Amino acid sequence: MAEEGAPGRRGERGEEPPAERGPGAAFHMFVLMEDLLDKLKLLSYEEEALRHHNMRPLSRHYFALPTNPGEQFFMFCTLAAWLISKAGHPFEQPQECDDPNAVISNVLSELRSFGRPVDFPPSKLKTGCGEQVCYVLDCLAEEALKHTGFSWKRPAYPTEEPEEEEITEDDAELTLSRLEEDIAEEESDNEENYIDLNVLKAQTYRSNMNDTAKQEEILQSTTDAAEWNLEVERVLPQLKVTVRTDNKDWRIHVDQMHQHKDGIDSSLKETRGYLDKLHNEISRTLEKINSREKYINNQLEHLVQEYRSAQALLSEAKEKYQEGSGGVTERIRVLSEITEALEKVKQETEEKGSSMTDGAPLVKIKQALTKLRQETIQMDIQIGVMEHTLLQSKLKEKSNMTRDMHATVFQKPHAERKLLAKDLKEVFKFLI
């Protein structure tokens, strides 16, 4: 790391969710989780956070895939509280018995206090995994790195030494070095069947060195030609050299095309006679079928005519049947309506007949009349008692008035007596 770059270079991807969801949006949280794990390692989370709670280190995709929601949510709350404290804000470490909604609300409020946007519902964090969980932890880790004074720097790449240019060799040409490499590969596979060419080469080299030393002495070969040929025939199977060819070479493709063409030509010569014979048999069979078809058509012409006329009659009968079925359907509908009306009339008639023949109302009337008579007798008795009481009161009042009248007759003048007599008459009329 040679030069300082903009802080938060790696955390830019985790600060805000992508605006446009493309095909790779499903894998965004995996990338975000890997960045978060790197930031947590830079903050020494294993020694400061996990060891205190006796927890295991996180895997690469711990918060990206759902495994154990309860464990993942508690790990999220623990890391969030530790990161908030690491960023300089005091935050109480949550416990397993705390309310999840309250813990999530406190974490999101702290995240908003850092100026980070929260555009998702808090319920997304209850699962303890997902893109939102990775986003929250990544933002808090970024703030903790800023508070500790950490800044990302540009990588310093090591200087590479210039390599020597390799000479490209044509695969089709067989060079000595390529032949030695192929022979060495074949030796590893078939050591028992083939001789070691490197050893042979070393022996040849030593023999050549000896021959150069004695070149002046050897002027003529003393080896027998027949023995030489026998030795060559004996050693020839052990000198088998196989050269691996590249299947992508155009020469191989051309050879294969020629081989396939020769195979097709040879197969075609054999099958052409069978195909011609089969073609002739099929042609003769088709001609027989055509002639037989014409003969059958001529023999059955009158039957075909009768069938056509019967088909026409059948179509006419079908049309008449459809028309008749339409009328029948209409009549069935009218019949159903009439039946419904008849049922209603029958029901009303039965109700009226049952009400006319039923003696219950008459019994009720008789009972009511009997009750009225009893009430009338009671009322007559009460009226008689009242009349008797009223008559007694009237007689008592009359006797009192008569007594008062006789007491005042002799005291008043004659005119007053007339008026009093008139009043008495009216009283008597009223009493009568």
Output Rg (C-alpha) for the chain, integer angstroms: 64
Report the alpha-carbon distance of residue 79 to residue 103 in Å, rounded: 12
pLDDT at 1: 38
**What percent helix, strand, coil does the chain show, rounded to 5?**
70, 0, 30
Contact 83, 140 (CB under 8 A): yes
Q: Which two tokens stand for residue 365?
A: 């009337």
Query: How many Cα atoms sit within 13 Å of 2 on the Cβ side?
Result: 4
Contact 182, 242 (CB under 8 A): yes
Report the alpha-carbon distance of residue 398 to residue 430 in Å, rounded: 11
Report the alpha-carbon distance of residue 431 to residue 281 in Å, rounded: 149
Report the alpha-carbon distance of residue 42 to residue 165 in Å, rounded: 42
Contact 63, 137 (CB under 8 A): yes
Angle at 397 (CA atoms; ends 394, 403), nearest 5 degrees: 140
Write out the DSSP string of 283-349.
Answer: HHHHHHHHHHHHHHHHHTHHHHHHHHHHHHHHHHHHHHHHHHHHHHHHHHHHHHHHHHHHHHHHHHH
Q: Each residue of 267-290: pLDDT tens digit? A: 888 888 888 999 999 999 999 999
pLDDT at 197: 53
Mean per-residue pLDDT of the chain: 76
pLDDT at 410: 52
pLDDT at 245: 61
Q: Each residue of 110-128: pLDDT tens digit? A: 888 888 888 888 888 888 8
Residue type, 40: L
Which residues, given as ranges, of the chain have pLDDT below 70?
A: 1-24, 157, 160-221, 240-248, 358, 407-421, 423-432
Q: Which run of H or of E encompasses 53? A: helix 51-53
